């Protein structure tokens, strides 16, 4: 790490006292013991307000859950959490990331949710060298042409889930679909993945309908759908916006089935109610994944926070799991970058989503499940793409 993360300082301070300690026959702490004494600062830069607030809260809860399960320490180091509400505002992203990395001197940054904000964080952490773990934002570039040794992602690339959805429709023989979304990186890149998946099987996206993030004036776009002659409408919306979109789609009485990147119905089925019934989506998580890790995670999450976990919680939990793997490998000595990154790159994580590993571009490799919304659950009905890795185009790591 190029910055001073606090460990070197405390070591200097302690060694400065060594003369006095020797005179008094006191044992001088080893480097390991010094490291253990100082908590590691983990900055959570996430949205705690706005349309993505619930996503940020669930990520935070799950990070805190994993740390609590490990007795408050990772790799023997106590963890101190510093939270910052990024409001999902890209124009404030660099300033916020600088506050965490330069003013608060965090050792690790976990963030964020919104792809545009991620690009601001990325610019800052590529300069500071701060270890960064992305627990949601899917901006393709951060694990493609702009990949960086200190940046890992435990969520997805925007391309991945929507690509699974496009493949599933294509295999079904769908020839014409439309894509509807917010006009920013996540919506556009998910649309790209959807199109590519559909085209692999001879289908095509004949129309892209967009509105500005986080606007919810869907009516002018919905009005165009019946005349498009499409068999499906694919969508990327998430959080509060997804609740409203799904309700308005149903209320408009449109006969074309709606599908999408799984965020459309993830964590929001309760609020969407009957309007979501039958919607198919593709995502790296779903209800009814019957592995012991998922069962234990869902129970622990619900016991601690009083509500169900969702994909955002899983991604936060896995961000903390990945950090734990790295820190355990270097016994909490975060300055051992080579050892830290080697362990994180090689991590095989038992995730509630199922098996998960890291690609050479430090992007998650995982199954993309096909789900159908049924009675308040995103029920897994198949695998849309097994062990799907992002292409990592342009990344020179590895
Ligand atoms: C994004 O901006 O990358 C994003 C936001 C919410 C859900 C999924 C992706």
CA angle (130, 132, 135) in 5-degree steps: 165
Span 195-220, average pLDDT: 98
Q: How far is the CA of 240 from the centre of ligand 1 (A)?
A: 12
Predicted confidence (pLDDT) at residue 143 exceeds the cutoff of 50: yes
pLDDT the model gives residue 398: 76
Predicted confidence (pLDDT) at residue 5 exceeds the cutoff of 60: no
Distance CA(31)–CA(1), nearest Å, equals: 17
Residue 21 — pLDDT band, cuts 50, 70, 90? very low
Distance CA(260)–CA(253), nearest Å, equals: 18
The atom of ligand 1 lying closest to the CA of 114 is 2
Lowest mean pLDDT among 18-32, 78-92, 355-369: 18-32
Q: How far is the CA of 137 from the centre of ligand 1 (A)?
A: 5
- For residue 212, the tally of other CB atoms under 10 A from its CB is 9
Residue 3 — pLDDT band, cuts 50, 70, 90? very low
Higher-scoring residue by pLDDT: 12, 184: 184
Per-residue burial over 96-118, b if 16 or more Cβ lie within 10 Å, else e, is: bbbbbbeeebbbbbbbbbbbbbb
- For residue 256, the tally of other CB atoms under 10 A from its CB is 16
Q: Strand, helix or coil at 96?
A: helix
Q: Best of 137, 263, 310, 368 to mutate for ligand 1, by most ligand atoms within 8 A of CB?
A: 137
CA distances from 36 to 29, 33, 327 (A): 10, 5, 12
110 bridge partner residues:
44, 133
Ligand 1 pocket, residues with Cβ under 6 angstroms: 52, 113-115, 136-138, 158, 186, 238, 263
Cα four-point dihedral sign 113, 117, 122, 128: negative
pTM, entire model: 0.91
Please tell me what DSSP assigns to residue 197. H
pLDDT in tens, 266-281: 999 999 999 999 999 9
Span 27-48, average pLDDT: 76
Distance CA(63)–CA(314), nearest Å, equals: 9
Span 323-337, average pLDDT: 98
pLDDT the model gives residue 187: 98
Distance CA(90)–CA(236), nearest Å, equals: 19
| Residue 320 backbone dihedrals phi, psi, to 5 degrees | -70, -35
């Amino acid at each position: 790490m190029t910055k001073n993360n606090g460990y070197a300082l405390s070591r200097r301070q302690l060694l400065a006292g060594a003369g006095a300690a020797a005179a008094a026959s006191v044992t001088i702490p080893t480097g390991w013991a010094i490291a253990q004494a100082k908590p590691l600062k983990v900055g959570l830069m996430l949205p705690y307000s706005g349309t993505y607030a619930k996503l940020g809260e669930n990520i935070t809860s799950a990070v805190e859950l994993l740390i609590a399960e490990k007795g408050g320490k990772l790799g023997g180091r106590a963890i101190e959490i510093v939270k910052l509400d990024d409001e999902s505002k890209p124009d404030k992203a660099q300033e916020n990331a600088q506050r965490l990395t330069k003013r608060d001197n965090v050792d690790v940054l976990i963030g964020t949710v919104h792809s545009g904000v991620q690009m601001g964080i990325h610019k800052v952490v590529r300069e500071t060298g701060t270890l960064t773990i992305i627990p949601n934002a899917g901006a393709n570039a951060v694990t493609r042409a702009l990949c960086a040794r200190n940046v890992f992602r435990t969520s997805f690339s925007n391309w991945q889930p929507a690509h699974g959805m496009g493949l599933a429709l294509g295999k079904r023989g769908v020839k014409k679909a439309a894509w509807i979304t917010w006009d920013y990186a996540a919506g556009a890149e998910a649309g790209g993945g959807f199109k590519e998946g559909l085209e692999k099987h001879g289908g095509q996206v004949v129309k892209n309908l967009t509105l500005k993030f986080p606007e919810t004036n869907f009516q002018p776009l919905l009005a165009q759908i019946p005349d498009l002659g499409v068999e499906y409408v694919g969508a990327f919306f998430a959080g509060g916006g997804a609740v409203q979109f799904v309700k308005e789609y149903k209320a408009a009485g449109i006969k074309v089935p709606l599908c999408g990147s799984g965020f459309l119905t993830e964590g929001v089925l309760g609020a969407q109610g009957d309007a979501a019934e039958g919607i198919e989506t593709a995502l790296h998580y779903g209800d009814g994944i019957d592995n012991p890790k998922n069962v234990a995670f869902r129970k622990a999450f619900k016991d601690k926070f009083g509500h169900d976990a969702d994909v955002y919680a899983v991604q936060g939990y896995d961000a903390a799991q990945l950090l734990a793997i790295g820190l355990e490998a270097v016994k909490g000595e975060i300055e051992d970058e080579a050892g830290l990154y080697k362990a994180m790159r090689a991590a095989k994580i038992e995730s509630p989503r199922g098996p998960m590993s890291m690609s050479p571009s430090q992007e998650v490799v995982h199954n993309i499940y096909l789900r159908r919304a049924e009675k308040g659950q995103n029920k897994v009905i198949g695998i849309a793409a097994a062990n799907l890795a992002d292409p990592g185009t342009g990344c020179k790591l590895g």
